[in-house]
Amino acid sequence: MDTKHLIGLRIKKLRLSKDISQERLAEIMGISPKYLSNIERGKENPTLDIFMKLANALKVEVSEVFNYSHEKSSKELRQMVLDLIKDGDVDQLKLLARVAEAIYM
């Protein structure tokens, strides 16, 4: 996953954590909802001014937008789940199965 996608995921996560819709955030920032959507999907190269508006609208430091090191790619997540399955004891596997059932049922 490239940097633009990771930053976009981080922006979306921050927005959702503040319970703000894309439309509302775009309105606060003075940009179009489509442009914000493209930023969140890693399809745009926002300027520093946009990042500053974004941070201000979300009431976070600009550096927080770039704090995406904890975000994992789908490949990393798959490998993590496979490792849990491979290395887990019976109780851990039962718990993992219950969580998966709860999510997908």
pLDDT tens for each residue of 72-85? 667 777 887 788 88
Query: H/E/C letters for each residue in the chain?
Result: CCHHHHHHHHHHHHHHHCCCCHHHHHHHHCCCHHHHHHHHCCCCCCCHHHHHHHHHHHCCCHHHHCCCCCCCCHHHHHHHHHHHHHHCCHHHHHHHHHHHHHHHC
pTM (2 d.p.): 0.66
Region 46-72: mean pLDDT is 88
**pLDDT computed for residue 103 by the predictor:** 75
